[in-house]
A = this chain, B = another copy of it.
Amino acid sequence: MCGSDQAIVIKCSKCSSGVLPEDTENNSRLNLPADAIINLDHGDPTMYESYWRKLGNMCTVMFTGYQSLSYFANPKNLCWFLEPKLEEEIKKLHNVVGNATVEGYHIVVGTGSSQLIQAVLYALSDPLNEANPISVVSATPYYSSYSEVTDFVRSGLYKWAGDAHNFDKDGPYIEMVTSPNNPDGVIREPVVNKAQGMLVHDLAYYWPQYTPITGPADYDIMLFTVSKCTGHAGSRIGWALVRDINVARKMVKFIEINTIGVSKEAQQRAAKILEVISDSCSQTVRPPELDNFFEYGQHLLTERWKKLKDLVEFNELFTLPKFPLQYCNFTGDFTEAHPAFAWMKCEEEVDCEKLFRGHKILTRSGKRFGSDPKYVRISMMSRDEEFDLFVQRLSSIHGIANGN
């Protein structure tokens, strides 16, 4: 319909640091006071800022005033608001990383994966069966937002039914399979396994920095998000790979009604970011100053997990999950998972979230994940300064026997 919505996503090395406000150089230094509250409740992926800062203007994007006025990005596409360049870069990245099959899939872009989850529930539910909303389940510990996202407007189409292990109703249901799992990093399979089940694979963390890539996923519906892949949570860009065209079509309808599409600026910037990380993985294309993005992330998380494990090993109060060594097709090495969250257990009968709060560390209680208050989820994706302060404080927390 209109050519003006094509991405103008360009490197602009000429207008580099000279035009950037000086104070941006200091943005990543929080200069936290020693008694600062450390918020590790959210999974805010600010640890990646150091990588992107090193790149300077290598992946700068520009928008003139006259770009992307229209609602439409690609009127002929099923997903008419999806920027063609983003579609291309999503496909390329999956092929480079080898974590998902894209051939034969429809891509639906969303305002983050939260919107895509709602779009999936809408697409898989039966509008003619209003008396009986479809059950949505996930195995505990499950991502704390699933219940809230499913029930917040009390939809008559779908309803949260809790822990998949306890689900025994007949008829259709939707099971959210999060793999690696949020909060505990475990690789998951569906647990209900009944005939009328529909599976949604939330693969937000199936990237090499978090977990070994054991092969391309090829499930019916797979969800990904830029937030956890590259760290650009502020952009609110997620995508779904959907096999069935009718499901994809209904998801697009949901997003059309909910927000009339997805920000073009965010999509075009995400396309550039994905392009750069694909390039960073290539021996032939990669400029010398560009580290492999996933190796960089993996390295950072490996270091952090080592610090945390070393501490917890000598602390009788806490335990952490253990992960098997697995061969990663992407790195060509045997490696453990280094999840985005630490799912920490207090071995005494205490409310673990409260315990940490007493030390000015905000975490998310196991209760929020349908689990026990002895557990907390701790983000491993904060900035260095926050992580270091967390580790420092953690080293001073001991069991009741040893004084808390």
Contact = CB atoms under 8 A, between A and B. Distances in A.
Contact of A60 (B4, B63, B70, B235): B63
A330 interface: no
Interface string A1-24: 111111010101011000111011
* Residue of A3, A58, A64, A262 with highest tally of chain B CB at under 10 A: A64
A24 B6 contact: yes
Contacts of A55: 65-66
* Residue of A2, A69, A111 with highest tally of chain B CB at under 10 A: A69
A62 interface: yes
Nearest to A111: B259
Interface in A47-83: 48-49, 52-53, 55-73
Interface in A119-163: 122, 127, 130, 145, 148-149, 152-157
A281 to B, nearest CB: 16
B233 A70 contact: yes
A260 interface: yes
Contacts of A130: 154
Given A69-B52, A73-B234, A154 B156 contact: yes
Contacts of A66: 27-28, 49, 52-53, 55
A111 B152 CA distance: 18
Nearest to A121: B153
A265 to B, nearest CB: 4
A387 B200 CA distance: 45
A149 B122 CA distance: 13
A276 B62 CA distance: 17
A64 B276 CA distance: 12
A57 B45 CA distance: 32
Copy number in the complex reads: 2
A115 interface: yes
A377 interface: no
A: interface residue count bin: 35 or more
A114 interface: yes
A10 B6 contact: no
A98 interface: no
A65 B273 contact: yes
A401 interface: no
B26 A19 contact: no
Nearest to A231: B69
Given A8-B21, A64-B20, A155-B154, A235 B263 contact: yes
Contacts of A5: 234
Nearest to A113: B260
Contacts of A195: none
* Residue of A21, A59, A62 with highest tally of chain B CB at under 10 A: A62
Contacts of A118: 153, 258
A44 interface: yes
6 contacts: A3-B23, A6-B27, A8-B20, A149-B257, A235-B264, A236-B259
The 6 A-B pairs with the shortest beta carbon distances in the complex, nearest first, are A154-B156, A4-B27, A52-B66, A68-B234, A15-B15, A234-B264
Given A27-B66, A42-B71, A61-B62, 8 more contacts: A12-B15, A24-B64, A49-B69, A53-B65, A127-B154, A153-B155, A234-B261, A235-B263
Interface of A: 1-6, 8, 10, 12, 14-15, 19-21, 23-24, 26-28, 30, 39, 42, 44-46, 48-49, 52-53, 55-73, 111-112, 114-115, 118, 122, 127, 130, 145, 148-149, 152-157, 227, 231-237, 254, 257-266, 269, 273, 276, 383
